[in-house]
Amino acid sequence: MVGALLVFGLTYALIAGRRLGFLRVSRAAAATAGAATCVLFGLLTPPQAYTSIDGDTVVLLLAMMVLAAHLHEAGFFEWGASVALRVTRTPQGLLTLLVFSVGVLSAFLTNDAVCFLVAPVLVHVIRRAQLGPTLFLVALATSANIGSVMTIVGNPQTMIVGSLSNLEFHRYFLLMAPLGIVCLGLNRLLLPRFYRLRRRPPDLWTRPAEWPDAPFEDADELPADFRRTLAAELRPRPLLQCGIALGFALIAFFSGLNVAWSALAAAALLLLLAGWEPRSLFRQVDWQLLLFVAGLFVVVGALRSRGASSAMFQALQPVLGDTPTRQGWSFAFLTTVACNIFGNVPWVLVASDWMAHWSETRTGWMLLAMAGSFAGNLMLTSSMANVLVRDASRELEKIRFLDHLRYGVVITLLTTILGTLWLLAVT
C-alpha cells in the first residue's frame, strides 16, 4: 500500500505542478511514468496493468475525436458560423446562439473537440465584427464545459463515469439534460454582466450609433462576401456522410447498445465512406489525452489492488458524512476543489473507486459527473477546453487569469449548487 501511495502521490504531484504552472512536465508524460513505475516495481504485473485500463473509455474518446474531426473536414463549423450570422439580428442574439449551440454540440461531440474546432472560426468573427473578445471566448469555453455534462460522451470525465458505472445513456441524458439547459441559460444571463459586449465603436460600421439594435446585415461590418467565405468551406457530400454516421451513433446510444463501440462503429463507417487517406484527420486526434487516460487507469489500478483507495476513502469519510444529503454536498465541493488541484480526469478516476461505499451509489456517480464537469469553469487552467480557447485568444486580446477567475468562481459555484440540489432531489 505504501508503494502504491508513493507512486500515486508522485504522479499527481507532477500533474498538479503542470496545472499550477511551476513544472514543465506534460500530463501524458506524468501518467506514463507513473504507469511504468507501477509495473517495474511490482505493484502490478503487466497483465494486471492491461486489465486495469478501461477499454471502453479509451475507445469512446478515440471515436468521438474522429467524428468531430470529420465534421471539421466537412466544413461544418464554418458553415454553422455563416448560418449564425444570417440568423442573428444583434450581437446579443449571436451570444445567445453561441452559448446554446456550443453547449448542445459539446454534449454530443465532447467539449475539447468543439472548443478546438470552433475557436478559430469565432476569432475570425470577433475580429471582423469588433466584438468584445473576452466575452465571446469565455462564453465558448464555459458553455462547452456546462453543455458537456448532458451526456456520457460530453467530456472525458462523463465518459469514465458512464463506462465504470454502467449508467444507461438515455437515463443519464433525461436527468442531466434539464440541468444542462438551465445552467446554459444562467451562463448566458451572467456573462454580459462581467465582460464588455463590444471592444470599441468600430470603424467598419456605417451607423455605429444604432448599435446594438441595428441588425447585422444593415451594417457593413459583416459584409455578404464574409458570410459567403465561411459558407464556401462547406463540403456537402462529407457533411452528409457525417450526418448519417452521427445519426447511426445516436440511435445506437439511445437504444441501449454499448456506447463506446457504437461510437467506434460510426467513426469506422465514416472512414469507409470517406474513401481517402485520412492523415489530416488523424492529426486532429489528441493522442496525448489517450495516453494520459490509459496511464492514469494503471496508477489507480495499483491503488485499488493494494487497498490504498479504500483507505483513502476511510480517511475522508468523517468529512463526507454518512447521510445522502451531507455526502452529496461535501462530495460535490470536494470534487470541485480536487479537480482544480489534480485535474478533472485524475480526480474522477480516484473518486470512482469510492462509489461502492456510498449509501446512494447512483447519486454518487451523477454528482461526480456533474461536479467534475462544472469544475472546469473555475480557472483558466481548469480544463483543456479553457486552455484551447485561451491559446486562440492570443490572436485578439489575451484572456488574463484574473479576468477569467472572477467569473469562473461565480459560474462554478452557482452551477454546482444548482446541480447538487437537482440531483439530490431526483435521484
Name the nearest CA neighbour of 106 among 321, 391, 377, 405: 377
- Residue in the block written with cell 459539446: 106
Number of domains within the chain? 1
Using DSSP, state whether 203 is helix, strand or coil. coil
Residue 32 falls within a domain, yes or no? yes
C-alpha 344/C-alpha 387 separation (Å) is: 14
CB-CB neighbours of 199 under 10 Å = 17
Residue 356 falls within a domain, yes or no? no
C-alpha 202/C-alpha 352 separation (Å) is: 51
With vertex at residue 162, the alpha carbon angle to CA 271 and CA 330, rounded to the nearest 5 degrees, is: 145
Residue 300 falls within a domain, yes or no? yes
Bond preceding residue 212 cis, omega within 30 of 0 = yes
Specify the pLDDT at position 318: 83
- Residue in the block written with cell 508503494: 3
**Are the CB atoms for 133 and 395 separated by under 8 Å?**
no
C-alpha 247/C-alpha 262 separation (Å) is: 11
Residue 338 falls within a domain, yes or no? no
Residue 211 falls within a domain, yes or no? no
Specify the pLDDT at position 206: 35
**Are the CB atoms for 144 and 114 separated by under 8 Å?**
yes
Joined together, the cell numbers standing for residue 303 give 491503488
State the amino acid at position 49 in one-letter form: A
C-alpha 103/C-alpha 373 separation (Å) is: 12
Contacts of 64 (CB under 8 A, 6+ apart): 109, 110, 113, 153, 263
Specify the pLDDT at position 21: 64
Question: For residue 256, is it left (φ>0), alpha (ψ between -120 and 50) or beta?
Answer: left
| Separation in Å, CA 254 to CA 71, 327, 364 | 21, 31, 23
Residue 272 falls within a domain, yes or no? no
Residue 159 falls within a domain, yes or no? no
pLDDT averaged over 10-residue windows placed end to end, the chain, 427 residues: 84 76 80 92 91 91 89 83 77 92 94 89 82 91 96 94 91 96 97 81 38 39 53 75 90 92 92 72 83 90 81 82 86 92 86 82 93 94 86 77 92 97 93
With vertex at residue 325, the alpha carbon angle to CA 323 and CA 328, rounded to the nearest 5 degrees, is: 105
Specify the pLDDT at position 384: 85
Query: In terms of residue numbers, what domain contains 34?
Result: 1-52+291-308
**Are the CB atoms for 176 and 151 separated by under 8 Å?**
yes
CB-CB neighbours of 254 under 10 Å = 12
Contacts of 423 (CB under 8 A, 6+ apart): 175, 179, 328, 363, 366, 367, 370
